[in-house]
Amino acid sequence: MCAVNPIMYQYQADKLPQIQQDYEEVKGRVDKENKLPSVFDVIPTFRRIEKVPDKIENSDFVPASGLVALAVLNAPEDWRDMKSAYSQIKSKLTNKTFTPSYDYKIAQHPFSFFRGTLLHKFVNPKTSPCPKLAKWLFKNDKTLWNTRLGKAVTEKYKIDEKFIDTTIKNITHTEQNPVFINANKFITKSAFGELTARAMTRTTKIGTAVLGGLEAAHLVKEISDGENAIKSTAKSAINFVSSIAGIGYGGAIGAKYLGPVGSLIGMGLGAIAGNQVAKIID
């Protein structure tokens, strides 16, 4: 059976044959169901590229390319995270001792935009072909905790810091000159303040700026396509903030109570929660 001419009936949906109306209704439900949260969000690489097909379908090529680039860039570090989680699960099943990089229950190590990625050696001033640029990137590869916002949170929740050793190699680590990063132990009477500090320590400044740039590119595309500027800006802002916060808080909670496995699950659930929040005004 041929479908009804959409041009003829685009303003007269009530005149569509019943079978065509039923088809459109079912199709709408299926499309909505296909956008339900995916359990595969616990896999870092999948989570990074999950929105790429939709963006390509909507000709939103700049954000799509950026997300793919981030997935490729972070593939080595994502794989290490998966291996760490697998080792934790395996040790539990075989009654063997799992030795983490540090005590996740009492501290959180600062995340890096470059450490462990394909750009790891490029950002190391000692191995980079562009030492000056590498030095600048290395200096600015900090977390949101190392910003004015972090200082404001410190003052509001009266947070004291202590540092504990880890076995996580820093970007400048070499066999001749071993350099390991420290994890932050946040001391405060506020459980939410401690959780916020952990979440901010897991969120990099450069990563936030990059994701913000991709969201801005998406916003420009929507407005140029005729979307309402105010509504589109609000949607982009909510999408950006909810995604960053969801992954940060979710990962912080998971890592604190379940280590590497909890970190992956927490970030996945946080991403799902963030996406659902972003749909509020969609």
- The model's pLDDT over 190-247, given as tens digits with 9 standing for 90+, comes to 999 999 999 999 999 999 999 999 999 999 999 998 998 998 898 899 999 999 999 9
Helices (H), 112-204: 120-123, 131-140, 148-157, 191-201
Q: Average per-residue pLDDT in the chain?
A: 87
Radius of gyration of the chain (CA): 23
pTM tops 0.85: no
C-beta separation of 76 from 117 below 8 A: yes
Kindly tell me if the per-residue pLDDT of 115 is higher than 80: yes
pLDDT the model gives residue 275: 81
180-187 vs 160-169, strand pairing mode: antiparallel
Q: Where are the beta strands (DSSP E) in 155-275?
A: 160-169, 180-187
pLDDT the model gives residue 24: 53
Residue with tokens 């912080």: 252
Residue with tokens 């030492």: 131
As a whole number of angstroms, the distance between CA 151 and CA 124 comes to 28
User: Which token pair is 208?
Assistant: 């936030």
pLDDT the model gives residue 8: 47
Bigger pLDDT: 232 or 8? 232
As a whole number of angstroms, the distance between CA 242 and CA 52 comes to 18
